Amino acid sequence: MKAHILIGSIGSGKSTWAKLMAGCDFKNIRVSGDDIRGMIKNGYVFDFQLEPIVHNMMRRCIEEALFQGKNVIIDDCVSTLTKEDRKSLCEYLVTQDPNIEISYIWVICDYDVALKRRFKNLRGGDKFSWKLVMDKHISMFEPPSEDEHINIKEIIEVRNEHDY
């Protein structure tokens, strides 16, 4: 089985890419942290105290998808910012399937384009707050590398500068 881990800033187009890929092949299942956050709070709200629940629910979805013989597309900005975050996710995936093929899909987007996209859908926040969140994510972000885990087969860079 395969796992595609999406990496990129808020507004870069990760979810758009994931939805397209999940729709292209019935063997692909998209697991989205944002969708789970929205389900928990009846609309998207980021609440740091709820993140353990979000991550556990994501892992349960991943487990079930792999158990059913599906490939997983993991779409969550929060759990893929740092090398340590991604390494932990890869190690978890290997516990589910020791032969899993992991690819990183790094969605790269210009900051101003990503910010403009986020401003089109504020998800209950305001422009000032989202800019702070994006800046914080960018300051924490570590670019991916194949040496993060032995099961990483490739890093695919997707440049996404389109204005939706």
What is the spatial distance between Cα 41 and Cα 43, in angstroms, rounded to a whole number? Answer: 5
Provide the residue ranges of all domains of the chain, joining segments of one domain with +.
2-159
State yes or no: pLDDT of 164 exceeds 60: no
Classify 147 as helix, strand or coil.
Answer: helix
What percent of the chain has a predicted confidence (pLDDT) above 90? 77
The answer to whether the pTM exceeds 0.85 is yes
> Considering only CA atoms, which of 117, 119, 114, 140 is closest in space to residue 130?
119
Q: How do residues 17-48 score in pLDDT, each as one tens digit? A: 999 999 999 999 999 999 999 899 877 777 88
Tokens 């800019």 sit on residue: 131
Question: Residue 77's pLDDT is what?
Answer: 87
Question: Residue 78's pLDDT is what?
Answer: 84
Which helix or strand (DSSP H or E) is residue 53 part of? helix 51-67
Contact 159, 30 (CB under 8 A): no
> Considering only CA atoms, which of 4, 20, 3 is closest in space to residue 105?
4
Residue-wise burial string across 15-30, b where 16 or more C-beta atoms lie within 10 A, e elsewhere: bebbeebbeeeeebbb
Q: How do residues 68-125 score in pLDDT, each as one tens digit? A: 999 999 999 888 889 999 999 999 999 999 999 999 999 999 999 999 988 888 777 7
Choices 1.10.10.10, 3.50.50.60, 3.40.50.300, 3.60.110.10: CATH for 2-159: 3.40.50.300
Residue-wise burial string across 34-73, b where 16 or more C-beta atoms lie within 10 A, e elsewhere: bbbbeeeeeebebeeeeeeebbebbbebbbebbeeebbbb
